[in-house]
Amino acid sequence: QAKQTGRNRFHVFDAQHDQEVQTHHDQRARIAQALQDGELRLYYQPKVNMRTGKIFGMEALLRWQHPEQGIVGPYHFLPLVEDTDLIIDIGEWVLHQALQQMQLWAAQGLHWAVSVNIAARHFQRANFVARLGEILAGFPQVSPHKLELEILESAALEDVQHMRNVMASCQQLGVQFALDDFGTGYSSLAYLKRLPANTLKIDQTFVRDMLDDPDDLTLVDAIVGLAKAFDRRVVAEGVETVEHGLLLLQLGCDLAQGYGISRPMAADSVAGWAASYVPAEAWRAWGSTQWE
Ligand code: C2E
Ligand code: MG
Ligand code: MG
Ligand code: MG
E runs forming strands in the chain: 40-49, 55-66, 70-72, 113-117, 147-152, 176-182, 199-202, 233-236, 255-256, 265-266
- Rg of the chain over CA atoms, in angstroms? 21
The average pLDDT across 259-288 equals 95
Quick check: CB of 94 below 6 Å from ligand 1? yes
Compute the distance from residue 180 Cα to the ligand 2 centre, in Å.
6
Task: Please provide the average confidence, as pLDDT, over all residues in the chain.
Answer: 92
Q: Is a pLDDT exceeding 80 seen at residue 149?
A: yes
50 vs 15, more confident: 50
Index of the ligand 1 atom closest to the CA of residue 259: 18
Compute the distance from residue 205 Cα to the ligand 1 centre, in Å.
12
Q: Is a pLDDT exceeding 90 seen at residue 115?
A: yes
* Dihedrals phi, psi of 190, to nearest 5 degrees: -65, -40
Say how far residue 36 (Cα) sits from the centre of its chain: 23
User: Minimum mean pLDDT among 5-9, 39-43, 219-223: which range?
Assistant: 5-9
Report the share of the chain in percent with pLDDT over 90: 83
Give kind and range of the element (H or E) at residue 107: helix 86-107
Quick check: CB of 46 below 6 Å from ligand 1? no
| pLDDT, position 191 | 84
15 vs 46, more confident: 46
| pLDDT, position 11 | 53
| pLDDT, position 245 | 98
The average pLDDT across 1-19 equals 55
Index of the ligand 1 atom closest to the CA of residue 150: 2
Compute the distance from residue 147 Cα to the ligand 2 centre, in Å.
13
Compute the distance from residue 152 Cα to the ligand 4 centre, in Å.
8
| pLDDT, position 15 | 66
SS3 state of residue 173: coil
CA distance 29 to 81: 10
The average pLDDT across 45-74 equals 97
Index of the ligand 1 atom closest to the CA of residue 119: 44
Index of the ligand 1 atom closest to the CA of residue 152: 34
| pLDDT, position 21 | 75
Q: Is 257 within 8 Å of 248 (Cβ atoms)?
A: no
Q: What's the half-sphere exposure (Cβ side, CA atoms, 13 Å) at 210?
A: 29
Nearest CA to ligand 1 atom 7: 238
The average pLDDT across 27-43 equals 97
| pLDDT, position 4 | 46
The average pLDDT across 126-149 equals 97
**209-257 pLDDT tens trace:** 999 999 999 999 999 999 999 999 999 999 999 999 999 999 999 999 9
Nearest CA to ligand 1 atom 17: 238
Amino acid at 165: N
Quick check: CB of 119 below 6 Å from ligand 1? yes
Amino acid at 226: L
130 vs 20, more confident: 130
Q: Is 9 exposed, middle or buried (0-12, 13-18, 19+ CB in 10 A)?
A: exposed
Q: Is a pLDDT exceeding 60 seen at residue 144?
A: yes
pLDDT band (50, 70, 90) for residue 3 = very low
Give kind and range of the element (H or E) at residue 137: helix 128-137
Q: Is 128 within 8 Å of 163 (Cβ atoms)?
A: no
| pLDDT, position 12 | 53
Predicted ipTM of the assembly: 0.98
Q: Is 40 within 8 Å of 76 (Cβ atoms)?
A: no
User: Minimum mean pLDDT among 91-100, 115-124, 178-187: which range?
Assistant: 178-187
